[in-house]
């Protein structure tokens, strides 16, 4: 007999699924950008600008699903004015704002030489726009060196912020001891690793799509290298998640029966089928082959599948966790509308917005760092 408490519902719906997916891409793409800036991954230089642009675009969009989910969206600014220091959620406002400012400033320094040239070459509103963005008119070598130092410093500050920005999302879930599936100290690492997977996957998927659309020559070595990085992070992410599940199964904690019933029952297809098989095993199998990593189609498919796997990891964690009653002896059901509040349509539209911002930003500054104009 099913034992569910009468107030139990799936309150955190598709919006809340989308939110960590967006912040995950932010953190993951920023890490890709920083791999070159901080750790000398020279092969990533060409994509450091695109990675930062993707980070900024997804960062701007990240609060939208959160605000849309609130029952009182007009009170969202309260998080700035009356933050509760004991709540991990309360740091969101300040963290989001400071991290966004940091990334915007880093972007301005990264493209400063280009922006100054555009301000000199263009006229009218475009000129005014570039003038506004140019932090100084100095285009000397010394100024470029100084810019590079600033970019490196901002990347250095931004890297732990990226980890905190996404790791704390995992912490929010992991710290809720009322929920059998969420309450594990591993939640932060699981979220962070899958964030890196989604960031790397989206940067390389965007690379092949933009390069294909703009008929830019694709750097096959870069593709292959990106495929390797994605493969290793996929493997690490899937391993950590599987070890967590295996540990729970072996430990046979009080709630394991209920957890197993949901994840190998109601969520068998999205969990085992999509998250692990289609979203991890298949892209890993593709990325093992050098030929596939160097091909446009091979990388596009592997990246798209890894992104889908990451999205379903969020879906399974957030929705799946709520399907288990607090009693551990009953299960809830979840279905989402196609249109309207909390619907699939609104979620896909919200996901489309950062892609639109990426398109806009890549028309303002170069997405590819091929010459010395982009640091």
Span interacting with another protein, options 85-93, 132-140, 241-249, 293-301, rule CB under 8 A: 85-93
Residue 178 binds to another protein (criterion: CB under 8 A): yes
The residue to which tokens 């964690």 are assigned:
317
Question: Which of 38, 43, 88, 209: binder of another protein (CB under 8 A)?
Answer: 88
Residue 71 binds to another protein (criterion: CB under 8 A): yes
Q: How far is the CB of 177 from another protein (least distance, A)?
A: 6
- Closer by beta carbon to another protein, 254 or else 371: 254
Measured at the alpha carbon of residue 69, what is the angle toward residues 64 and 73, in degrees to the nearest 5? Answer: 75
Residue 84 binds to another protein (criterion: CB under 8 A): yes
Residue 6 binds to another protein (criterion: CB under 8 A): yes
- Give Cβ neighbours of residue 23 (< 8 Å, ≥ 6 apart): 58, 62, 165, 166, 169, 195
- Give Cβ neighbours of residue 365 (< 8 Å, ≥ 6 apart): 49, 53, 107, 111, 114, 115, 374
Neighbour count for residue 192 (Cβ, 10 Å): 25
Residue 342 binds to another protein (criterion: CB under 8 A): no
Rounded Cα gap, residues 130 and 115, in angstroms: 6
Question: Which of 2, 7, 42, 335: binder of another protein (CB under 8 A)?
Answer: 7
The SS3 call for residue 166 is: helix
Span interacting with another protein, options 70-78, 190-198, 211-219, 367-375, rule CB under 8 A: 70-78
- Closer by beta carbon to another protein, 7 or else 363: 7
- Closer by beta carbon to another protein, 72 or else 123: 72
Span interacting with another protein, options 126-134, 169-177, 267-275, 361-369, rule CB under 8 A: 169-177
Q: How far is the CB of 163 from another protein (least distance, A)?
A: 21
Residue 140 binds to another protein (criterion: CB under 8 A): no
Span interacting with another protein, options 153-161, 170-178, 223-231, 302-310, rule CB under 8 A: 170-178
Largest CA distance in the chain: 76
Helical segments of the chain, H only? 14-39, 45-61, 63-69, 78-81, 92-110, 112-121, 124-133, 141-174, 187-213, 220-251, 256-261, 268, 282-287, 290-294, 296-323, 344-364
Q: How far is the CB of 88 from another protein (least distance, A)?
A: 8
Number of residues that bind another protein (CB under 8 A): 38
For the chain, the straight-line distance linking the first and the last C-alpha, in angstroms and rounded, comes to 63
Give yes or no for a contact between 145 and 121, defined as CB atoms under 8 angstroms apart.
no
Q: How far is the CB of 351 from another protein (least distance, A)?
A: 21
Residue ranges that bind another protein, judged by CB under 8 A: 3, 5-9, 11-12, 66, 69-73, 75-76, 78-79, 82-84, 86-90, 92, 172, 175-179, 322, 326-329
């Amino acid at each position: 007999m099913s034992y569910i408490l009468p107030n139990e519902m799936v309150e955190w719906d598709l919006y809340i699924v989308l939110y960590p997916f967006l912040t995950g891409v932010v953190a993951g793409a920023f890490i890709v950008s920083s791999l070159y800036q901080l750790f000398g991954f020279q092969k990533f230089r060409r994509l450091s600008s695109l990675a930062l642009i993707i980070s900024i675009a997804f960062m701007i969009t990240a609060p939208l699903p959160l605000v849309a989910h609130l029952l009182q969206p007009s009170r969202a600014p309260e998080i700035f004015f009356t933050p509760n220091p004991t709540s991990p959620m309360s740091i969101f406002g300040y963290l989001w704002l400071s991290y966004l400012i940091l990334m915007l400033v880093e972007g301005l320094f990264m493209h400063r030489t280009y922006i100054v040239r555009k301000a000199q070459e263009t006229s009218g509103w475009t000129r005014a726009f570039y003038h506004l963005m140019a932090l100084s008119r100095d285009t000397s070598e010394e100024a470029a060196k100084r810019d590079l130092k600033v970019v490196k410093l901002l990347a250095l500050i931004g890297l732990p912020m990226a980890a905190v920005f996404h790791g704390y999302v995992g912490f929010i879930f992991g710290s809720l001891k009322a929920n059998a599936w969420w309450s594990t100290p591993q939640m932060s690492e699981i979220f962070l690793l899958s964030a890196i997977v989604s960031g790397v996957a989206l940067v390389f998927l965007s690379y092949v799509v933009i390069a294909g659309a703009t008929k830019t020559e694709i750097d096959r070595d870069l593709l292959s290298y990106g495929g390797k990085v994605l493969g290793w992070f996929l493997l690490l992410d899937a391993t950590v998640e599987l070890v967590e599940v295996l540990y729970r199964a072996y430990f046979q904690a009080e709630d394991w029966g209920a957890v197993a019933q949901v994840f190998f029952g109601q969520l068998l297809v999205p969990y085992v089928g999509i998250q692990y098989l289609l979203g991890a095993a298949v892209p890993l199998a593709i990325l093992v082959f050098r030929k596939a990593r160097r091909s446009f189609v091979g990388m596009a498919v592997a990246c798209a599948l890894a992104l889908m796997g990451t999205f379903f990891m969020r879906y399974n964690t957030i929705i799946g966790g709520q399907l288990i009653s607090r009693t551990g002896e009953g299960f809830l059901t979840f279905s989402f509308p196609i249109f309207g509040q909390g619907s699939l349509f609104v979620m896909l539209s919200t996901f489309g917005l950062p892609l639109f911002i990426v398109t806009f930003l890549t028309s303002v500054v170069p997405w590819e760092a091929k010459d010395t104009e982009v640091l």
